[in-house]
Amino acid sequence: MKKEFKKTEKAAESDKLKSGQIIDIAVSALDEEGYGVGDYEGMPVLATGVLPGEEARVKVTFTGRRVSFAETVKILRHTPSRLKTPPCDKAAICDGCPLIQMKYPAQLAWKTELVERKIRRYRSLSKAEIHHTIPSPKPLHYRNSAKLVVAGKFAAPLIGIYRRNSHEVIDIGNCPLHHPLINKVVQAVKEGIKKGKVPIYSARTGNGILRYLVVRISEMENRAMVILVTAQRSYNEIHHLAKHLQSVVPEASIIAQNVNGSAGNAILGEKDYFITKERAFMDSVGPIRFSISPRSFFQVNGGGAQIIYEKVREWGELTGREAVIDLYCGIGGISLYLATGAKDVLGIEAVTAAVTDAENNARINGIRNCRFEAGDAAELLSRIQEKQDKFDLIVLNPPRKGCDERVLASVASLAPARVIYVSCSPQTLARDLDILSGHGYRTLEIQPVDMFPQTPHVENVALLVKD
């Protein structure tokens, strides 16, 4: 039995790490967020920029009661998995892509192991086959969208992301994860802020105008959509900034101002004011085209999304006679991808605007055997059950939190021959697959897909059959 030692509050306080303190740690593993896990005199320390098997000198950036955070100052002992020259000069301090210093095959192996750990916690999933992680077609410059914070003063603007546990903004510069056109837009906006002396919003004082920069790219059309998020409606400064942006980046063919005066963390407010005549562009995943507007959900890695959609279609084994439900369908990506091989497809989505987009995308692609309904998943499935409609395949693609147990029970009550579960969280995927096993569904295979290279996130596709 492990002994427990109690310290007085005064003694514990004296042992506590201090912010700014320099310490040496040995790293044994990466946690689920890609932080190196070390230990300093019994206190767990999570450090950026360090890999398993390494020893590092780190600077403490935040201390809590149970864990402290740090950034790497110097690697004292290297692992063979480390790249000699990372593609980013901010790799040691940026939280956005903590695996970017790791060789790409090692990243893929780590993600497979992560999925294995989560899945094997459940006895019901012990026989499920877990495949090696499929690599992204583009390990770098794959992100077609970015939501960035604008900070600092107009004379020296910062555009980037928040450092963990703080409101300090890391200026990302020429980010190697972003599509090159995003980086081009970011640089042009910085120049425009300086040139036009655009006041930057301060959360501390409530003064200033420009808060966030949102950029979306159509790889198909090589065009950019730029949303300038402001604390208040400001015509002159933002229009001059937009004019400068278009003169430097003519690919920025859609520019809008979004007003967000709230004090919360939401990036977009409710109202968009378009500066350009155009309000949407087209992009594609495989043969399916999509209309993208400022609020449309679209996969940030088009090549990775195609791998997932193809895997869903492969495992669906469609012959043209099947009735399919695509639950949490978004703007209809998987629904439209499956429609050409199915008899009919019903897409279900809680967000009404996404359903409108999905219907529009079906029209764009000339697909007539897809219909979409907006509403609560559990309620809509209950109605379907009451009508005793039969479905051969149900696809689940929920948000990170996974599925409500009522939804899983309703899916099982419809008794499809196959269920395919697409998940961005190995933890909630494992939980939900275990629940479905209790409803008579056996997980045969799980395919991890690297949708987000250089980060700890991994997408998974799971195939279940009815016992």
Contacts of 193 (CB under 8 A, 6+ apart): 150, 154, 157, 200, 210, 241
pLDDT digits (tens, 9 = 90+) for 270-317: 989 999 999 999 999 999 999 999 988 899 999 999 999 999 999 999
Q: What is the pLDDT of residues 200-221, one digit of tens each?
A: 999 889 999 999 999 999 999 9
Delimit the domains of the chain by residue range.
Answer: 19-82, 108-138+301-466, 145-285
| Mean predicted lDDT score pLDDT of the chain | 93
Contacts made by residues 67-74, CB under 8 angstroms, sequence distance 24+: 67/43, 68/17, 68/40, 68/43, 68/44, 69/35, 69/45, 69/164, 69/165, 70/23, 70/25, 70/45, 70/46, 71/47, 72/36, 72/47, 72/48, 73/22
Quick one: which of 241, 225, 347, 353 has its CA closest to 281?
225
What pLDDT was estimated at residue 164?
73
Q: Which amino acid is at 127?
A: K
In the structure, what pLDDT confidence band is assigned to residue 3 with cuts at 50, 70 and 90?
very low
Residue 14 has pLDDT above 50, yes or no: no
pLDDT in tens, 134-190: 999 999 999 999 999 999 999 999 999 988 767 889 999 899 999 999 999 999 999
pLDDT 10s digits, 18-32: 999 999 999 999 999
SS3 of residue 364 by DSSP = helix
- The residue among 465, 462, 467 whose CA lies nearest residue 129 is 462
How far is the C-alpha of 277 from the C-alpha of 255, rounded, in Å? 9
- To the question of domain 19-82 being in CATH 3.40.50.970, the answer is no
DSSP 256-325: EEEE---SSS-S--SEEEESSS---EEEEETTEEEEE-TT----S-HHHHHHHHHHHHHHHT--S--EEE
Pairwise CA distance, residues 126 & 116, whole Å? 10
Alpha-carbon gap, residue 338 to 154, rounded angstroms: 49
The conformation of residue 163, written as its DSSP 8-state character, comes to: P
Q: CA 275, CA 272: separation in Å to the nearest integer?
A: 10
Q: How many whole angstroms separate alpha carbon 186 and alpha carbon 213?
A: 8
pLDDT at site 52: 95
**Phi, psi (5° rounding) for residue 265?**
-95, 0
Give percent of the chain above pLDDT 90.
Answer: 87
**Is the CATH code 3.40.50.970 the one for domain 108-138+301-466?**
no
Please state the rounded mean pLDDT for residues 368-395: 94
pLDDT at 15: 58
Residue 11 confidence (pLDDT) above 60: no
Q: What pLDDT is stored for residue 292 in this prediction? A: 93
State pTM to two decimals.
0.92
| Cα angle 385-390-396, degrees, rounded to a multiple of 5 | 75
Say how far apart CA 332 and CA 288 lie, in whole Å: 10
- Show Cβ contacts of residue 423 under 8 Å, excluding neighbours closer than 6 positions: 397, 398, 402, 429, 432, 459, 460, 462
Which residues carry out catalysis? 424
Separation between Cα atoms, residue 247 and residue 196, nearest integer Å = 14
Q: Residue 132: its pLDDT value, please? A: 98
- Confidence at residue 237, expressed as pLDDT on a 0 to 100 scale: 95
- Overall average pLDDT of the 108-115 stretch: 98
C-alpha–C-alpha distance, residues 217 and 215, integer Å: 7
Over the stretch 39-49, which tens digit does the pLDDT of each residue have? 999 999 999 88
Specify the pLDDT at position 295.
Answer: 87
Q: DSSP letters of 187-220?
A: HHHHHHHHHHTPPBP-TTT---SEEEEEEEEETT
Q: Do domains 19-82 and 108-138+301-466 have the same CATH topology?
A: no
The pLDDT score that the predictor gives to residue 2 is: 40
pLDDT at 94: 79
* pLDDT of res. 5: 37
The Cα 61–Cα 218 span in angstroms is 38
List residues bridging with 37 in a β-sheet.
29, 46
- Architecture of the domain spanning 145-285: Beta Barrel (2.40)
Q: What is the pLDDT of residues 51-70, one digit of tens each?
A: 999 999 999 988 988 999 99
